[in-house]
Structure 1
Amino acid sequence: MASFMQYLRGDPRAPGERKLVVKLDLFILTFCCLMYFLNYLDRSNLNNAYVSGMKEELGFRGNQLNQINTVFTVGYTIGQVPCNLALYYVKPKIFFPTCMVVWAGLTMATAGAHHPRDIMAIRFFQAIFEASTFVGTHYILGSWYTGRELGKRSGIFTASGLAGTMIGGFIQTGIHSSMDGLSGLSGWRWLFIVDGIITLPVAVYGFFLFPDTPRTTKAPYFTADEKALAISRVPEIPERTPISWGFLKHCFSTWFWYFFVVLWMIAGETESFSSNALLSLYMKTHPTKKYTVSQLNNYPTGVPAVGIVSTLFWATLTDFWGGRRYLVGYWIGITGVVTSALILAYPESTSINFGMYYWAGSVYACQATFFAWANDVLRYEEDSLRAVVIASMNMGNNAINAWWSIVFYGANFAPYFTKGMYAMIATSIALAIWTALLVWMQRRTDRRREHEGVYASREEKDPVSVQDEPDENKHVNLKA
């Protein structure tokens, strides 16, 4: 217990390191969490609006909601790698806030939609500008934080997005009860207006206070010693131009790209219970029970609530256990098989359906841990490769999402989603197998790096972080 409390407090290994980490949390983590919270609030409120009157007012039919989500996914996929590479050419303190301003404007424009196709067009462009948030933040976190600090921060960041999903339902409930009909606008239209307005102050905060990366920061709140310390905390890796034929050949010749992209392609689909709002659609189309607008918005918030707890638990635990991020892959495998099988076995049981959808929310833990895992393994590779792998992970997953939700989780399959349950069982088993293969590849790479003296040079630079680590963990945690 004493060692765990020491881990939670942090263990600075150089003079001034604790003060530096506090500043990183204040100016980087806080901004990124607020950005992701608003990002998910904007996204999830489409589903909240759908069950709060938008479906009837705009005349949605069949699986048009899923088609809109697919168009969003296409735009999001297109924007992944370009947005991460853009961070090499545009300062993050300019790029992130500018994207926020654009997507805030598009969110408010949704309030003026008159047909589902209007929302479809808006969401496509909104997705391109939102694509920078998730993968860009993981790239930035990996640029500033050590492996011992990274999982916990990745967990907090991911939890902030889930909080946006959870709180969105309550916001819609409040707006529907207090603003529906105000100035002749429906409550769901006011929802998008309010979402866009509250995004703008955070963008302004980023323009003035975000510190870019350790080697490019000019933030006035860092002293010269703190800037030098920030640079010393991450490995010195030779860089090459990220947009070149040589770089592309190097990228696709490594195992990192293939294994981590496939990992997230599979893992991302295990989140389908939650990301496709299946509980909301189950309630909306229940053959015998009728739910009020407040219930339709509030009851599903339990899913991201479970996701927040699970994300923080696993992110913290895998940090404390020396970076064993792979454990989450096995947990998800068990969760996906059990929850889907029980829903298939008891489709008429409302209590079992609610319970399984809530439990399935724990699968959200893979976001923080798997991207922290990629940052851990790629810490000793060049930054451009790490940026591309992280962006490609999300790009690959969204390329699958573009059609997966329509094939297995279309709104016309509600309330039971039988095909989706079998798909969830298959992907959960596949994830457990792929996780084991990736662990094997990582251990091979660790042995090679030890033979080449990569870790030895690091030990000379940062002896405490290596020597304090149990020998059995050295093959797993690359920057503990």
Structure 2
Amino acid sequence: MAPNLVQYLRGDQNAPGERKLVQKLDFFILTFCCLMYFLNYLDRTNLNNAYVSGMKEELNFRGNQLNQINTVFTVGYTIGQVPCNIALYYIKPRIFLPTCMVIWAGLTMATAGAHSPGGIMAIRFFQAIFEASTFVGTHYILGSWYTGRELGKRSGIFTASGLAGTMIGGFIQTGIHSSMDGRNGLSGWRWLFLIDGIITLPVAIYGFLLFPDTPRNTGAPYLTANEKALAISRVPEVSERTPISWRFLKHCFSTWYWYFFVVLWIIAGETESFSSNALLALYMKAHPTHKYTVSQLNKYPTGVPAVGIVSTLFWATLTDFLGGKRYLVGYWIGITGVITSALILGYPDSTSVHFGAYYLAGSVYACQATFFAWANDVLRHEEDSLRAVVIASMNMGSNAINAWWSIVFYSADLAPQFTRGMIAMIAVSIAMAAWTALTVFMHVRTEKRRDIEGIGTMAVAKEIGAQEHGNRESPEKV
């Protein structure tokens, strides 16, 4: 066994040159992935900003057509999850991820030319398929390079970059609406999509040139031969099999990992519904007594992702510090979901309570970083193809439910109270805490079994070593 791998298994994070290696990885991996996710979320969530900034009236939206567009996006996003992560097994991430960026940037700009909700619906479907590469692809890459003690913080920074896109999108829309609305005959919301697409392209070019792929196939010019060898030694050596085979599928569905982590993220995804469906903006838009300005409609909801950023970084750092206890976030989400829903149900006429509850609900975004880091932690000793499929399936399962969940419980025409959605949130929050406990049980059981097998393997190796030593000392026994 290589010395650096021994150091990794013992928890030694100070191998020669390791700090410099991690600094390089942080710079080149995190800068690209965070900028990619920031722009991804900026493009994705600015549909809601455009909706409350004139698009609804200009394109004559009716009923829950906004939710229908979001559902079509979710369907495309769901379809793209597993294929995108499997593609990373065959196509270098340095080629695949930036190529997807270029395509969804072009589709974002095409949205500026839409003349009906149906046109936007068609664009968003195909845009979603290519955007599906960003989230699950990055978590696969992070798990390929970083150790368990490093992963939580990096996952947190990555998630926070997406939330920053959500938050800053409101301010960008406000600035564009006030300065460019009507310029060259285009509405402010149309300029928003054009500008979003244009600023995405330089980041894609950066990825083509400098993204390091994965440790075993990297050709990054800024990594020395020793650093490449060290990067490989930092993660356990695992067996490999092609992800497109009947044998692999049987193996995948025979493990508990797929079922438990997919259900975990399905439930967790619905606990984010207050934020992911922009309920605060819809609440303000449909407020029975107060009429908010376009600036207020874009700015006030930015407090939700701001809370999400703080919560994400806090929990990601804390769970790293506590040795990877990612499951703690599941209990926090369960408590938060019940409290926020109960407050909104209990005080239906209080604007301040609604604002406070929606802001607090933003803290559940912490589960994105911690739960995907948890999956990477648990699957660290399994083959990469299984880890890639489980991570992609988690997001696929969540979005498959979101495709109809948002229409049933959080349709725009249910604003401002969303009573049905509040009851649903209480139910999934309780389920979140219960399923987290079950997943912890399975994880602990697996680790105990792995420890026992490891002790057995070490004992056999020790016995073989003793026999070889005895044979060397007693030639007559040979």
When normalised by structure 2's length, the TM-score is 0.93
Cross-structure match for 1:440 = 441
Cross-structure match for 2:132 = 131
**Secondary structure of 1:31's match?**
helix
Cross-structure match for 2:95 = 94
Q: In structure 2, give the amino acid aligned to 1:404.
A: W
> Contact 1:143–1:234 (CA<8 Å) still a contact in 2?
yes
Cross-structure match for 1:476 = none
Cross-structure match for 2:175 = 174
Q: In structure 1, give the amino acid aligned to 2:293.
A: T
Q: How many residues align?
A: 449
Cross-structure match for 1:253 = 254
Cross-structure match for 2:416 = 415
CA 1:306–1:455: 2 relative to 1, 3 Å: farther
CA 1:77–1:170: 2 relative to 1, 3 Å: same
Q: What's the offset of the Cα at 1:455? A: 11
2:44 is the alignment partner of 1:38:
no
1:322-471 matches, cutoff 5 A: 322-453=323-454
Cross-structure match for 1:3 = none
Cross-structure match for 1:17 = 18
2:75 is the alignment partner of 1:74:
yes
**Secondary structure of 2:379's match?**
helix
2:138 is the alignment partner of 1:161:
no
Distance 1:292 1:386 in 2: 47
Cross-structure match for 1:292 = 293
Deviations 1:206-248 (A, max 9, x none): 0000010000001110000000000000100010111000000
Distance 2:83 2:260 in 1: 21
Distance 1:447 1:11 in 2: 21
Cross-structure match for 1:472 = none
> Contact 1:237–1:383 (CA<8 Å) still a contact in 2?
yes
Deviations 1:344-393 (A, max 9, x none): 00010000000000000000000000000000000000000000000000
**Secondary structure of 1:87's match?**
helix
Q: What's the offset of the Cα at 1:29? A: 1.0
Cross-structure match for 1:59 = 60
Deviations 1:193-218 (A, max 9, x none): 00000000000000000010000001
Cross-structure match for 2:468 = none
Q: In structure 1, give the amino acid aligned to 2:44.
A: R
Distance 1:34 1:456 in 2: 44
Distance 2:27 2:320 in 1: 20
Cross-structure match for 1:150 = 151
CA 1:429–1:87: 2 relative to 1, 3 Å: same
Cross-structure match for 2:3 = none
Distance 2:206 2:318 in 1: 32
Q: What's the offset of the Cα at 1:456? A: 8.0
Deviations 1:276-308 (A, max 9, x none): 000000000001000000000000000000000
**Secondary structure of 2:374's match?**
helix
Cross-structure match for 1:206 = 207
Cross-structure match for 1:463 = none
Distance 1:454 1:246 in 2: 29
Deviations 1:314-334 (A, max 9, x none): 000000000000000000000
- Which consecutive aligned stretches of 4+ in structure 1 deviate over 4 angstroms post-superposition? 454-457
Q: What's the offset of the Cα at 1:72? A: 0.1
Cross-structure match for 1:274 = 275
Distance 1:90 1:376 in 2: 24
Cross-structure match for 1:316 = 317
Distance 2:423 2:76 in 1: 28
Q: In structure 2, give the amino acid aligned to 1:447.
A: K
RMSD: 1.2
Cross-structure match for 1:471 = none
> Contact 1:449–1:455 (CA<8 Å) still a contact in 2?
no
Distance 2:456 2:409 in 1: 45
Cross-structure match for 1:105 = 106
Deviations 1:240-267 (A, max 9, x none): 1110000000000000000000000000
Q: What's the offset of the Cα at 1:13? A: 1.8
Cross-structure match for 2:464 = none
Distance 1:454 1:366 in 2: 34
CA 1:349–1:309: 2 relative to 1, 3 Å: same
Query: If you compute each CA radius of gyration, which structure gives the higher value, 1 or 2?
Result: 2
**Secondary structure of 1:347's match?**
coil
> Contact 1:450–1:456 (CA<8 Å) still a contact in 2?
no
Distance 2:127 2:148 in 1: 33
CA 1:377–1:426: 2 relative to 1, 3 Å: same
Distance 1:26 1:446 in 2: 33
2:205 is the alignment partner of 1:186:
no
Distance 1:13 1:248 in 2: 38
CA 1:57–1:443: 2 relative to 1, 3 Å: same
Q: What's the offset of the Cα at 1:12? A: 3.8
> Contact 1:334–1:428 (CA<8 Å) still a contact in 2?
yes
> Contact 1:45–1:169 (CA<8 Å) still a contact in 2?
yes
